[in-house]
Structure 1
Amino acid sequence: MKTLFRGFLLVGLSVALILPASAQVTKDYTKLVNPFIGTGGHGHTYPGAVMPFGMVQLSPDTRYDGWDGCSGYYYTDTVVYGFSHTHLSGTGIPDYCDILFMPTVGEAKFKREDYESGFKKKNESATPGYYKTLLDKYNIGVELTATTRVGVHRYTYPPSAKDGNVIIDLQDRDEVLDSWIEVVSNHEIRGYRRSKSWADDQSVYFYAKFSKPFRTYGIASDDQLQGGKTKVQGKNVKMFIRFDNPGEVITKVGISSVSAEGALKNLDSEVPGFDFNKVQKDAKVAWNKELSKIEVSGGSPSAEKAHDKQVTFYTALYHCMLAPNVYNDVDGQYRGMDQKIHTAKGFNYYTVFSLWDTYRAEDPLFNLIDRKRTQDFVRSFLAMYEQGGLLPIWPLASNETFCMVGNHSIPVIVDAYAKGIRGFDAEEALRAMKSAVNRNQFGLESYRKTGAVQSDDEAESVSKTLEYAIDDWCIAQMSKMMNKPNDYKEFIQRAQYWKNVYNSENGFMQARTNGTWYTPFDPTEVNSNYTEGNSWQYSFLVPQDVEGLISRIGGKANFEHKLDELFTTNSKLTGNQQPDVTGLIGQYAHGDEPSHHMAYLYNYTDAPYKTQYYVNKILNEQYSPNPDGLSGNEDCGQMSAWYVISSLGIYNTMPGQQQFQIGMPLFGKAIIHLENGKEFTVLNLNADISNSNIYIEGMKLNNAAYNKIYLDYNTVYNGGKLKVTTGKVPNRVYDKALIKPTSKITDDIIVANPYIIAPSKTFKKPFNAIIKCGDKGAKIYYTLDGTMPTINSKLYTAPIPVIKKTTIKAIAIRNGKSSFVNEGTFIKIRGDIKLTLVNPYLPNYADKGNETLINGIRGKTDWRLGNWQGYQGVDLVAILDFGSVKPINKISLGTLQDSNVWIVFPQYVQYWVSDDGKDYKLLSTVKTKVDVKDLTVQTQEFTADLNTHTRYVKVIAKQYGPLPDWHPFKGSPSYIFADEITVE
């Protein structure tokens, strides 16, 4: 009966009357938030105290090492280092955890292993804006709360403690470039920390005040106390302060990227007193205001399951609001991308934009429920462009990390503009967008020159081509809305470049190399042609032209079948290990973002019920109200935003398009409280009757029958009510009759590039080269003399014999329009050398085949482009057989060093000679000239003058061995990357 009563009580609470977000909030939504969701598994979240989009994220630090230490905290850890003031939510790369405070008793110690403490989960709790734990080692209770720019600590020392300390550690975690601490008075300290990690140059100032005077203090440099000094500067600066009879001590810490004075202004403005409870209460009020923007109720006939879904929902909404983060002080000052101080006038300046992730769902969600803040995001982007010369890609603490691919501030800007958010300079925005995609970086030059990023030129070429085409479509839409026809024409053509990596013969997105397709090809292989994924996970990434993709695949039925195979295949991932590719349903990977729109693509077929099935499956199987309740990295809100907006029954598959796909509403009732004062309600009352009611049988919009499987943005924004009737069995007739969404490029259609079919870029025996084009009816013209082909060049009608080094250039022409020139050069390998490898190379890091080392094609400094052969744990041992004794004058082995990724030059290369292949004599040892500490990515030739006659030469490249102690992955085995052996 207790369980039953509890369930009725929870359901009753969930349907309480909710006022618009601008009015007083009467319900405590924070009780439905569990900040520990995502702190286990690979979610990489943190549980600490933070305000919505706050500058301060005050949270415990329990783990810095390994991938699951990115946020500084992991759920199963039982030792806490201290409590720092900045944290990243759900990223896959570590940073932050700046300005660490740790209360202790007894002798003050400065090494982490000495001052850290155990803690128990039973003593740990968290709600939005508040965190609590007990330090077992010291019996000190710790409570944390925060305002936007200030972290507030409450330490409760044991009654028996006659004195108590607070350790302040500025050296902890990442590389410190500079730091200092200064004692202002017996109540106040201030300091500075400049560090290098994911952000190359991050500055954090702090100002701390204490509720009672400290009796004494000590500042240490390199863990040695500097007696009597009130200020110490260096790269390893720490401090202790000591209180008599401490009892309860309140510590408030303001931070700033600008100055210690700015940190003090933030502190005095936001927390003028030491009322911890008031700060905590205000944080709860702020969170309830934000969380009340969406009201959900029901979701299951089981009260317990309904409660779990609501906890998952509101925690997801909470996670959406942890980033981006305010970065300007209360007076508007902030450190810009040029590392100079600027003032934000009329807006807040933000940082921490995980744009490759969030443009897909989080930013479209904000365009519904947080339009004012979205406008500030865009104005922040333009400030970054003005100060740094580039729209942001992944900005962190006013540093550009260049993380991930694409230029995805562009779809955020365009989606905001398309949805009526216009409080920014549109002309400057368009200028900035065009500048971003017309620069020469990350394969953009290759993309513009050839219509696709070539894998010979740039790693992750397929992903970059597809993401660049999405950005270009967005620029085209912005140009159209601003009446810029010339720009529209250029960028709507570029938006179709996805066609140049679509292989019509196998139906997959495949890398282009040397005029042909990258081979061998396996759509399950995770390799350097894709960003955190494989061809399955990228072959549907054309949200700007879904109908164009459907046409290429062969129509709706074929497209539906291809989607079915994606979700149901039993094939496993192959190739490189990639921890981000998680949450697998077939080859669909919900744990990584490129898959996030794919379940909604069935709406473009005659089987929208499959969208409903898979959306429901993902909502219920890939999320839970547990520490491991996320199937992948939270990624600054994207993983949670997918849950929030999908559970409302809608999803914007392409920013800038004005259609929300209708999926499967998870809750019996959901109300979106819009900033214009209106409400949009989604009802799925049958969800409260049975968990099996997952197929839409009918819809009404504002009480009138509705026959579209999408909603226009304005329909939602203007308020109204969508009521869906759901059942346990799909209605195929009803599905087929529904009006489908549109996503199609019809203007300035391009001709896809032709491609050459050849065995490889090198050959020993003559072969016939075949040229094809994915566009039916296109004619192909080619040249073999190095000139550019035109319509007056030779018409391709039959395979081309290749018997020597040959360069083929070809174009495809249809309806008077020409493709880009497609070029391939095929090299005949010298046949007088036989090469044998004693130790096998690594299949995942190799240009495959023994003859790679003697094919005349040299590897580039970017090892991901291929041509290198990788060895780990064994030496490279190669035997050259010249067929008979011949004069050998000089020999050389080309190698690569990129110590950051464990690729290190061999200690030395030896050259041994033999006439019979049995008895070898050492003729030369060539040592490396470059230290492993040199982090420059570079190549080195190990060259020896042999001046001898021999039949066999044995080449031995000696591994460096385990990585040195200074390396972040010390002790791990290094790699040798080798290419090309040259012989004179």
Structure 2
Amino acid sequence: MAISVIRIDEESGWLPKWGYGTVETNIMTGDPVTPFLTNAYQQGLLKGWEERAYRALKKNADGVPPAGSPAVGREANKEYIAGGFAPYIKGRPHAKPGDSDYDHGASATLEYALSDAMLAEMARDLGHDADAARYAARAQNYRKIFDASTGFFRARDTSGAFTGPADPAQSEGFHEGTSWQYQWLVPQDLPGMISLIGGKQAANDRLDSFFAYDRLVADPAKTAREVWVNGPYAYYNADKYNPQNEPDLIAPYTYLSTGQPWKTTDVVHAALTLFTDTPTGMTGNDDLGTMSAWNVLSSIGVFPVQPGYDTWGLSTPVFERVDLTLDRRYYPRGSLTITAPGTSDGNRYVQAARVDGSPYGRTYLTTDALRHLTSLAFTVGAQPSAWGTAAEAGPPALN
């Protein structure tokens, strides 16, 4: 699939945003192809194709498709590269079918910056040091749309002025979400973003409000269904987590970076109550398997928390034992067993973790580490513990 995406660029002139058969639909915004291909690269799936993939990604990251191309690519890239943000232009006519980054300038800025961070890592690995430095600098562009007066991200117009309602729950310029829900889409530099909003305590307070944490602990399933969920396509005018759509799917794992990893488990397990084996058991729009994948990975306690990179956050599995058979071309050990004896709703907090029998205190693993493990074992209990709370325990900033 990844190689097919590269061939689409070589045969059509540009990487797809949302290819559907032989048609480029240009649905959604941002730059989803960069995390997709850089993740494939990090997983070892582009052997022999690395430079071809990089050339296509660099062209996509630094330019805009010509008028004759069906692709829109990074439609607002000229403004983004010049000023560090994609402007929000309400009601701008669409030059091509599909969605427009100008309609969603704030979220497009966050997505461009995230993609730049991932491309910086790939460039560095391949020896393109000047490109790596340039993309790493651009990865900090999330700061350009931070409004210090509100403490939230906010859209800017073509003049650079903040625009739309100051209330982050009523914000404009975010695709299928609000500033509250896009707040956490800075996995390339969570420490930097947390610093912007006032440090770990301020971040934890905001996360607790976002997840309605006190109500969640008292009644997880009711909170998920009555506080978080307001209809399958109710994307706007909200200050709470939306577990039915993509913009904040990694948000529960932010607690891994704020020193309170047990809250990740609380939130994840509450969200998992939305998935059942009934006709209404798939929450929201599955979007080609996205929600299903979130459900499966979160259930086994290993979830990719930095798109396009090789960082996997850890939380308490809902199963006592999971046996994974892995492709030996990429995982030499061929299998991974994850255990959490006694795990249950009342016994859901990690007390300790071991990898291949050795104590492990961090709240994440890398793909390289997973490739060479045969066992990941959790000891669980009824109360939160100090596991994973050390200063260096959380996922690292990338660049």
Scaled by the length of structure 2, the TM-score of the pair is 0.85
Q: Which runs of 5+ in 2 are unaligned?
A: 65-71, 93-101, 216-229
Task: State the match for 2:203 in structure 1.
Answer: 559
The DSSP-based 3-state class of the residue aligned with 1:410 is: helix
Kindly indicate whether the alpha-carbon contact (under 8 Å) linking 2:259 and 2:394 is maintained by their aligned counterparts in 1.
no
Task: State the match for 1:686 in structure 2.
Answer: 342
Among 370, 373, 377, the alignment partner of 1:719 is 373
The DSSP-based 3-state class of the residue aligned with 1:540 is: coil
Kindly indicate whether the alpha-carbon contact (under 8 Å) linking 1:473 and 1:544 is maintained by their aligned counterparts in 2.
yes
Task: State the match for 1:645 in structure 2.
Answer: 297
Query: What is the rounded CA distance, in whole Å, between the counterparts of 2:396 and 2:156 in structure 1?
Result: 26
1:642 partner amino acid: W
Query: What is the rounded CA distance, in whole Å, between the counterparts of 2:88 and 2:231 in structure 1?
Result: 20
Instruction: Specify whether residues 580 and 627 from structure 1 end up closer, same or farther in structure 2 by C-alpha distance, changes over 3 A only.
Output: same
1:509 partner amino acid: F
Kindly indicate whether the alpha-carbon contact (under 8 Å) linking 1:533 and 1:578 is maintained by their aligned counterparts in 2.
no
Among 70, 88, 104, the alignment partner of 1:455 is 88
Task: State the match for 2:13 in structure 1.
Answer: 389
Alignment of 1:590 onto 2:214 = no
**Residues 214-363 of structure 1 aligned to structure 2 (within 5 Å):** none
Alignment of 1:743 onto 2:396 = yes
Alignment of 1:622 onto 2:278 = no
Q: CA RMSD in A?
A: 2.4
Deviations 1:51-73 (A, max 9, x none): xxxxxxxxxxxxxxxxxxxxxxx
Instruction: Specify whether residues 590 and 582 from structure 1 end up closer, same or farther in structure 2 by C-alpha distance, changes over 3 A only.
Output: farther
Query: What is the rounded CA distance, in whole Å, between the counterparts of 1:703 and 1:585 in structure 2?
Result: 44
Instruction: Specify whether residues 395 and 734 from structure 1 end up closer, same or farther in structure 2 by C-alpha distance, changes over 3 A only.
Output: closer
Report the Cα offset of residue 546 of structure 1.
0.9
Query: What is the rounded CA distance, in whole Å, between the counterparts of 2:156 and 2:171 in structure 1?
Result: 16
Report the Cα offset of residue 663 of structure 1.
1.2
2:258 partner amino acid: T
Task: State the match for 2:42 in structure 1.
Answer: 418
Report the Cα offset of residue 605 of structure 1.
1.4
Deviations 1:121-158 (A, max 9, x none): xxxxxxxxxxxxxxxxxxxxxxxxxxxxxxxxxxxxxx
The DSSP-based 3-state class of the residue aligned with 1:404 is: coil
Query: What is the rounded CA distance, in whole Å, between the counterparts of 2:231 and 2:143 in structure 1?
Result: 27
Q: Which runs of 5+ in 1 are unaligned?
A: 1-376, 571-576, 747-984
Report the Cα offset of residue 642 of structure 1.
0.5
Task: State the match for 1:709 in structure 2.
Answer: 363
Moved more, 690-699 or 632-641: 690-699
Among 119, 136, 141, the alignment partner of 1:497 is 141
Report the Cα offset of residue 735 of structure 1.
4.5
Scaled by the length of structure 1, the TM-score of the pair is 0.35
Query: What is the rounded CA distance, in whole Å, between the counterparts of 1:508 and 1:622 in structure 2?
Result: 29
Task: State the match for 1:406 in structure 2.
Answer: 30
Instruction: Specify whether residues 564 and 627 from structure 1 end up closer, same or farther in structure 2 by C-alpha distance, changes over 3 A only.
Output: same
Query: What is the rounded CA distance, in whole Å, between the counterparts of 2:276 and 2:321 in structure 1?
Result: 20
The DSSP-based 3-state class of the residue aligned with 1:726 is: strand
Kindly indicate whether the alpha-carbon contact (under 8 Å) linking 2:171 and 2:237 is maintained by their aligned counterparts in 1.
no
Report the Cα offset of residue 465 of structure 1.
0.4
Report the Cα offset of residue 516 of structure 1.
2.1
Query: What is the rounded CA distance, in whole Å, between the counterparts of 1:548 and 1:661 in structure 2?
Result: 19
Kindly indicate whether the alpha-carbon contact (under 8 Å) linking 1:582 and 1:631 is maintained by their aligned counterparts in 2.
no
**Residues 780-929 of structure 1 aligned to structure 2 (within 5 Å):** none
Deviations 1:160-210 (A, max 9, x none): xxxxxxxxxxxxxxxxxxxxxxxxxxxxxxxxxxxxxxxxxxxxxxxxxxx
The DSSP-based 3-state class of the residue aligned with 1:700 is: strand
Report the Cα offset of residue 659 of structure 1.
2.2
Report the Cα offset of residue 658 of structure 1.
2.6
Task: State the match for 1:522 in structure 2.
Answer: 167
Report the Cα offset of residue 737 of structure 1.
3.7
Task: State the match for 2:151 in structure 1.
Answer: 507
Kindly indicate whether the alpha-carbon contact (under 8 Å) linking 1:709 and 1:740 is maintained by their aligned counterparts in 2.
yes
Query: What is the rounded CA distance, in whole Å, between the counterparts of 2:335 and 2:317 in structure 1?
Result: 16
Instruction: Specify whether residues 597 and 579 from structure 1 end up closer, same or farther in structure 2 by C-alpha distance, changes over 3 A only.
Output: same
Instruction: Specify whether residues 745 and 710 from structure 1 end up closer, same or farther in structure 2 by C-alpha distance, changes over 3 A only.
Output: closer
Instruction: Specify whether residues 585 and 651 from structure 1 end up closer, same or farther in structure 2 by C-alpha distance, changes over 3 A only.
Output: farther
2:360 partner amino acid: Y
Query: What is the rounded CA distance, in whole Å, between the counterparts of 2:187 and 2:265 in structure 1?
Result: 18
Among 600, 615, 633, the alignment partner of 2:253 is 600
- Aligned residues with identical type, % of pairs: 30
Query: What is the rounded CA distance, in whole Å, between the counterparts of 2:237 and 2:281 in structure 1?
Result: 15
Kindly indicate whether the alpha-carbon contact (under 8 Å) linking 2:117 and 2:398 is maintained by their aligned counterparts in 1.
no
2:193 partner amino acid: L
Deviations 1:343-377 (A, max 9, x none): xxxxxxxxxxxxxxxxxxxxxxxxxxxxxxxxxx1
2:53 partner amino acid: A
Query: What is the rounded CA distance, in whole Å, between the counterparts of 1:735 and 1:717 in structure 2?
Result: 22
Query: What is the rounded CA distance, in whole Å, between the counterparts of 2:128 and 2:137 in structure 1?
Result: 14
Query: What is the rounded CA distance, in whole Å, between the counterparts of 1:720 and 1:729 in structure 2?
Result: 28
Query: What is the rounded CA distance, in whole Å, between the counterparts of 1:601 and 1:644 in structure 2?
Result: 19
1:385 partner amino acid: D
Task: Count how many residue pairs are aligned between Structure 1 and Structure 2.
Answer: 360
2:266 partner amino acid: Y
Kindly indicate whether the alpha-carbon contact (under 8 Å) linking 2:145 and 2:153 is maintained by their aligned counterparts in 1.
yes
Query: What is the rounded CA distance, in whole Å, between the counterparts of 1:427 and 1:544 in structure 2?
Result: 23
Report the Cα offset of residue 657 of structure 1.
2.9
Deviations 1:817-857 (A, max 9, x none): xxxxxxxxxxxxxxxxxxxxxxxxxxxxxxxxxxxxxxxxx
Report the Cα offset of residue 716 of structure 1.
1.5
Among 638, 660, 670, the alignment partner of 2:312 is 660
The DSSP-based 3-state class of the residue aligned with 1:623 is: coil
Instruction: Specify whether residues 717 and 583 from structure 1 end up closer, same or farther in structure 2 by C-alpha distance, changes over 3 A only.
Output: farther
1:743 partner amino acid: P
Give the number of the structure with larger relative contact order, counting CA–CA contacts within 8 Å between residues 6 or more apart: 2
Query: What is the rounded CA distance, in whole Å, between the counterparts of 1:710 and 1:738 in structure 2?
Result: 13
Report the Cα offset of residue 561 of structure 1.
1.2
2:118 partner amino acid: C
1:625 partner amino acid: D
Hey, which of these two has a bigger chunk of strand by percent?
A: 1
Task: State the match for 1:220 in structure 2.
Answer: none
Query: What is the rounded CA distance, in whole Å, between the counterparts of 2:183 and 2:239 in structure 1?
Result: 14
The DSSP-based 3-state class of the residue aligned with 2:58 is: helix
Query: What is the rounded CA distance, in whole Å, between the counterparts of 1:522 and 1:384 in structure 2?
Result: 42
Instruction: Specify whether residues 498 and 735 from structure 1 end up closer, same or farther in structure 2 by C-alpha distance, changes over 3 A only.
Output: same
Task: State the match for 1:634 in structure 2.
Answer: 286
Moved more, 489-498 or 704-713: 704-713
Deviations 1:751-781 (A, max 9, x none): xxxxxxxxxxxxxxxxxxxxxxxxxxxxxxx
Report the Cα offset of residue 504 of structure 1.
2.2
